[in-house]
Chain A
Amino acid sequence: MEIVLVGLNHRTAPVEVREKVSFSAEQARRAADELRSRGILEETLVLSTCNRSEVYGVPPESSHECAPGLSSFLSEFHAVRPEALSGSLYHHYDREAVRHLFRVSAGLDSMLLGEAEILGQVREAYRFAHEQGATGPVLNRMFQGALEVGKRVRTETDLGTRPMSVASAGVKLAERIFGKLEERSALVLGAGAISEQVIAQLRGRGIANLFLMNRSRDRAEELARQYGGKVAGWGEWETALRAPDVVVSSVATEEPILGLEVVERAMEARKNRALFLMDLGMPRNIDAGVAKLYNVYVYNMDDLSDIVQQNRQARENEIPRAENIVEAHVGKFLSWQASVELVSLVDELRARVQEERNAFVKARMDSMAHLSEPDRLRMEGLMDELLEKLLLEPARKLRGEKELRRKIQNVEALRDLFLSKRDKP
């Protein structure tokens, strides 16, 4: 029972190669079918995202022999010359393969450290392969472990919690003030690329009402259609600033758009309910004095970039804790795997002993013709009793004692010791 992984990711292959080897859902299904029907793998799972294509599998024989077969299958399946892939593909076996998967689902192997999407992609790939019946006991256990690792890393460490882009940092900050944005409304000034990023983030965080304002109304209306929102007339500050809790501004302008007076009046109309202003314009769109107003929070581009910078550092500091979680679960998986193998080893050993005993009894009894039939049976009974005693005790221990199973790491060695080559399945 061994595990093999062949794949490539953003570290080993440029996008030109990655896109050639990526799998659509349909392709993943077909590849899994072919791999199994050709007898290359017994269990398979294809994990394909924009940054990685990986095939996990359990081969019928020793996995070290099947990796080349897997690589050539990949190049054949995607009609890519093998030489084009050879430099990019990595192969991992057993412990390394498990650790790789666990690190992937923890977000440790992602381009953007700790990103959240990968966990969903792993879950989706597993669900897909499971429904198709391509996975078996080993991969099932392994991917359930991977999902658990991903969840633990995200709840127990800060690896994925802190925002890594200016837009998401701004929106997450608004949540520090208002809590969930589901009953809040936001006003976005400007309709450029940055505005669009923030709108996408706001929508992603479930903002209830979205108002858009732009000098040219057309572009604002286009965005409003795309993301669902209402367009307000440019410059109608009195009405526009009364409702929203979050105001985002990203407009090319010489003079500040939101002056001190405008915001002051708006706060009066809002009865001083907290207002979060995100100034993403350059030069700044919001008068510097606004930040001093009561219950007004102003963050500009520099502030947010600083936060992103700090967060990058903070995420990197969390790596050791995440790696510890990964290691703990790799150990857990391996001891599970060892225990399954040990149990089957004991069963095999039993069958083998039974076989030996029968041959032994047959050979010896023939030379002891002077024994009466009851004596013979008695002798055989004694022999059985002894063998049972010898075998039963370790078998019971193996089933009962978790610690013992963890200590026995190399089941193959035990197999070699007790069972000669011909007994290997």
Chain B
Amino acid sequence: MTLSILAYAAFALSFVLSLIFLGEERLLRKHELGNMVWRLPPLELLERMSQSSVLVGLVSIAIGTALGFVSVDRLMGQYWFYDPKYVVTLFVLLLYALYFRLARTATWRGARASKLCIFNFVVVVLSFTVVNLYLSHSHRYF
């Protein structure tokens, strides 16, 4: 559970970094510098930090979910039962793994990867709200 919180914190951080990246990238490309750009961190630094943050998130959510399966197995004698929360979490894991992979490829590096990262975090937030409140029965809180 602590691991999952760490993971979501890391995803949140990469979300913020990606937002800053997109904003700064837009300003630089449109030549609208103003006062902001000179105070922001360099684009490539933001990109690298976002990727490392996602890596931390990926590792901790993978371990967290695995431990979750183990404890569920002990409690109930089976490691899998259908719960939307499981599905969404695995989906999030998949999405971030995808981001991590794509962020280094030719087509996606830069702004596109950052947009994906922002999209991913929107999914995370949805899994926290909609899925927890309406869909899942055993994951009311986390």
Considering only residues 301-327 of chain A, those with a C-beta below 8 Å from chain B are: 303, 306-307, 310, 314
Considering only residues 156-191 of chain A, those with a C-beta below 8 Å from chain B are: 158, 161-162, 172-173, 175-179
In the complex, what's the smallest C-beta–C-beta distance from B48 to chain A, in angstroms?
9
Q: What band does the interface of chain B fall in when counting residues whose beta carbon is under 8 Å from A?
A: 20 to 34
- Chain B residues with CB under 8 A of A291: 29
- Chain A residues with CB under 8 A of B109: 271-273, 295
Given contacts A274-B44, A307-B33, contact A158 B38 (CB under 8 A): yes
- Chain B residues with CB under 8 A of A272: 106-107, 109-110
Considering only residues 20-62 of chain B, those with a C-beta below 8 Å from chain A are: 24, 28-29, 31, 33-35, 37-38, 40-45
Instruction: Give the docked Cα–Cα distance between A87 and B112 (Å).
Output: 64
- Chain A residues with CB under 8 A of B35: 158, 314
Q: Is the interface of B mostly helix, strand, loop or mixed?
A: loop
- Most chain A beta-carbon contacts within 10 A, residue among B31, B34, B43, B111: B31
- Chain B residues with CB under 8 A of A161: 38
Q: Does B42 contact A179, Cβ atoms closer than 8 Å?
A: yes
Q: Does A297 contact B38, Cβ atoms closer than 8 Å?
A: no
In the complex, what's the smallest C-beta–C-beta distance from B11 to chain A, in angstroms?
24
Contact pattern, B 103-116, Cβ under 8 Å of A = 1, otherwise 0: 00111011110000
The one of B41, B42, B110 in contact with A294, judged by C-beta atoms closer than 8 angstroms, is B110
Given contacts A177-B28, A177-B44, contact A274 B38 (CB under 8 A): no
* Chain B CB within 8 A of A237 CB: no
- Chain B residues with CB under 8 A of A297: 28-29
- Chain A residues with CB under 8 A of B34: 310
User: Which partner residue on chain B sits nearest A302 by CB separation?
Assistant: B31
In the complex, what's the smallest C-beta–C-beta distance from B130 to chain A, in angstroms?
34
* Chain B CB within 8 A of A336 CB: no
Q: Does A177 contact B43, Cβ atoms closer than 8 Å?
A: yes
- Chain B residues with CB under 8 A of A310: 33-34
User: Which partner residue on chain B sits nearest A270 by CB separation?
Assistant: B106
In the complex, what's the smallest C-beta–C-beta distance from B77 to chain A, in angstroms?
50
Contact pattern, B 61-77, Cβ under 8 Å of A = 1, otherwise 0: 00000000000000000
Number of A-B contacts (CB under 8 A): 53
* Chain B CB within 8 A of A299 CB: yes
Q: Does B31 contact A177, Cβ atoms closer than 8 Å?
A: no
- Chain A residues with CB under 8 A of B110: 272, 274, 294-295
How many A residues, CB 8 Å from partner?
25
Q: Does A299 contact B33, Cβ atoms closer than 8 Å?
A: no
- Most chain B beta-carbon contacts within 10 A, residue among A172, A271, A299: A271
Contact pattern, A 273-307, Cβ under 8 Å of B = 1, otherwise 0: 11000000000000000010011010100010011
Considering only residues 258-275 of chain A, those with a C-beta below 8 Å from chain B are: 268, 271-274
Considering only residues 117-133 of chain A, those with a C-beta below 8 Å from chain B are: none
Instruction: Give the docked Cα–Cα distance between A173 and B24 (Å).
Output: 12
Q: Does B43 contact A176, Cβ atoms closer than 8 Å?
A: yes
- Most chain A beta-carbon contacts within 10 A, residue among B40, B105, B106: B106
In the complex, what's the smallest C-beta–C-beta distance from A155 to chain B, in angstroms?
13
- Chain A residues with CB under 8 A of B112: 294
Q: Does B42 contact A303, Cβ atoms closer than 8 Å?
A: no
Instruction: Give the docked Cα–Cα distance between A175 and B29 (Å).
Output: 14
User: Which partner residue on chain A sits nearest B112 by CB separation?
Assistant: A294
In the complex, what's the smallest C-beta–C-beta distance from A299 to chain B, in angstroms?
7
Q: Does A299 contact B31, Cβ atoms closer than 8 Å?
A: yes
User: Which partner residue on chain B sits nearest A273 by CB separation?
Assistant: B109
- Chain B residues with CB under 8 A of A178: 42-44
In the complex, what's the smallest C-beta–C-beta distance from B9 to chain A, in angstroms?
25
- Chain A residues with CB under 8 A of B44: 177-179, 274
User: Which partner residue on chain B sits nearest A172 by CB separation?
Assistant: B38
Instruction: Give the docked Cα–Cα distance between A274 and B37 (Å).
Output: 17
Contact pattern, A 232-270, Cβ under 8 Å of B = 1, otherwise 0: 000000000000000000000000000000000000100
In the complex, what's the smallest C-beta–C-beta distance from B78 to chain A, in angstroms?
46
Across the A-B interface, the 7 shortest Cβ-Cβ residue pairs:
A179-B42, A271-B106, A272-B106, A295-B110, A177-B43, A179-B45, A303-B31
Given contacts A173-B28, A271-B105, 9 further A-B contacts (CB under 8 A): A161-B38, A177-B28, A179-B42, A179-B45, A272-B110, A274-B43, A274-B44, A295-B110, A310-B33
Can you pick out 23 interface pairs between chain A and chain B where the beta carbons lie within 8 Å of each other? Answer: A158-B35, A158-B38, A162-B38, A173-B28, A176-B28, A176-B42, A176-B43, A177-B28, A177-B42, A177-B43, A178-B43, A268-B106, A271-B106, A272-B110, A274-B43, A291-B29, A294-B110, A295-B111, A297-B29, A303-B31, A306-B31, A307-B33, A310-B34
Residues of A within 8 A of B (CB): 158, 161-162, 172-173, 175-179, 268, 271-274, 291, 294-295, 297, 299, 303, 306-307, 310, 314
Residues of B within 8 A of A (CB): 24, 28-29, 31, 33-35, 37-38, 40-45, 105-107, 109-112
